A and B are shown apart, each in its own frame.
Chain A
Amino acid sequence: MSGVSVTKGAEDAAPAANDLVVLSNVNKHFGALHVLQDIDLTIARGEVVVVIGPSGSGKSTLCRTINRLETIDSGAISIDGKPLPEEGRELARLRADVGMVFQSFNLFAHKTVLENVMLGQLKVRKTDKKAAEDKARSLLDRVGVATQADKYPAQLSGGQQQRVAIARALAMDPKVILFDEPTSALDPEMINEVLDVMQQLARDGMTMVVVTHEMGFARSAANRVVFMADGKIVEEATPDQFFSNPRSDRAKDFLSKILHH
């Protein structure tokens, strides 16, 4: 049931070259709670994987282990063929290649929008100031908040802040971007402006891991849906398969609760 990849059929001949993120047999506990249980998940370059499931199923934790914001107890995670290093310089270098977008935006509150998008370029990539600013402005334009460049995060709406956060992640030219419930803290009318940006990214071929409750996004943008419950990956399928014909009872139960309102 779990661990079955359904989108890479054609590439299975040479899997290793195209696998960007590989989790194998990952386990994690929070005290007595076994939040991640024997997780095996492989994400190919250019793939959009949407992780859904009930609250407390371990989706966010899974997402956060990929750039080691959460440590794991056992198992292995590798990104682009390299295993995740211990905390330190090596890990910082790897994190620079893995973008992250948080539920609560986490824009640097004491810096302007423009400075937020420039910071990583200047301090991690050591880009020169002019190039960093040009790139930041063009990314802000791309996500539709160019006119807000000189404001502080608190002066922006939630949807605008989240789009800035996406621009901040993009500024590092990441190999993959992790989205940890990017629309869960937004007012309903702002959700779409963020999802539109994410849709566009998906079409442009960005590798994305998206933890979300937005089933519409999962349906339209995902290459693969991963359904988690109680710390386990219960089901992996294409969005069509998953939403029209879920195989596991747990997924059927979950879908019946969320789709009938």
Chain B
Amino acid sequence: MFDFLKGYDLLGAFWVTVQLTVYSALGSLIWGTLLAGMKVSPVPLMRGFATAYVNVVRNIPLTVIIVFSSLGLYQTLGVMLGADVIDDINFRLAVLALAAYTAAFVCEALRSGINTVPVGQAEAARALGLSFTQVLRLIILPQAFRAVVNPLSNVLIALTKNTTVASAIGVVEASYLMKDMIEAEAQLILISAVFAFGFIVLTLPTGLILGWVSKKVAVKR
């Protein structure tokens, strides 16, 4: 029944999906945290920048951002992100675009987490003589992260599925292979089912594990 899978590198394609997800997740987590830090900073310019960034980026379709990374950054401006083979360039551009896009959502999740930390925590930290960045790094963000593990896990699941858009600039991940197979094989429903199952295998454990982590690390008040 699954003979049509022969000759296709299914695992390899999903491995690219996993790589896209992991690198983009790390990038978006770092950039999103910095954005959230800017959003609560006392410097108006930083607050303005972070607000503008989030509002612009989260309102542009991901396809437009990813296609721009290829057409705009690479083909027009010649940005290659340190790679020289076209496959690598596309992969890195896709990671950059996915991270830039997802960071807006990480920032918003994290900011809602910051709002759950009572004002008194920051006041007590400032009263001890900690600087703004120390207060943020040692007191506010650790508590904010613990409060938003579940929303962040939603962002991560969405990111996993969003990696399929990378096929638009020729990154050979799972959905790219799926389109290939649909054209070559007469097994429309089975092919779709196999790929749907593959994504569930990736995202379901993410949700379950992070749900458990969320309970484990919750701050008791």
Contacts and interface: CB of A to CB of B under 8 A. Distances in A.
Does chain A bind chain B?
Answer: yes
Interface of A: 67, 69, 87, 89, 92-100, 102, 104-110, 119-120, 123-124, 152, 154-155, 165, 168, 172
A172 B125 CA distance: 12
A123 B134 contact: yes
Contacts of B118: 104, 106
Given A106-B121, A109-B143, A123-B138, A100 B127 contact: yes
B110 to A, nearest CB: 15
A78 to B, nearest CB: 18
B129 interface: yes
Contact of A152 (B130, B138, B220): B220
User: Interface SS of chain B: helix, strand, loop or mixed?
Assistant: helix
Interface residues of B, number: 22
B121 A109 contact: yes
Given A87-B42, A110-B143, A102 B123 contact: yes
B205 interface: no
Interface string B122-150: 01111111110010001100110010000
B221 interface: yes
A108 B129 contact: no
A67 B129 CA distance: 10
Given A96-B129, A100-B123, 5 more contacts: A89-B131, A95-B126, A109-B219, A124-B130, A172-B128
Contacts of A109: 121, 143, 219-221
B82 interface: no
Contacts of A154: 220-221
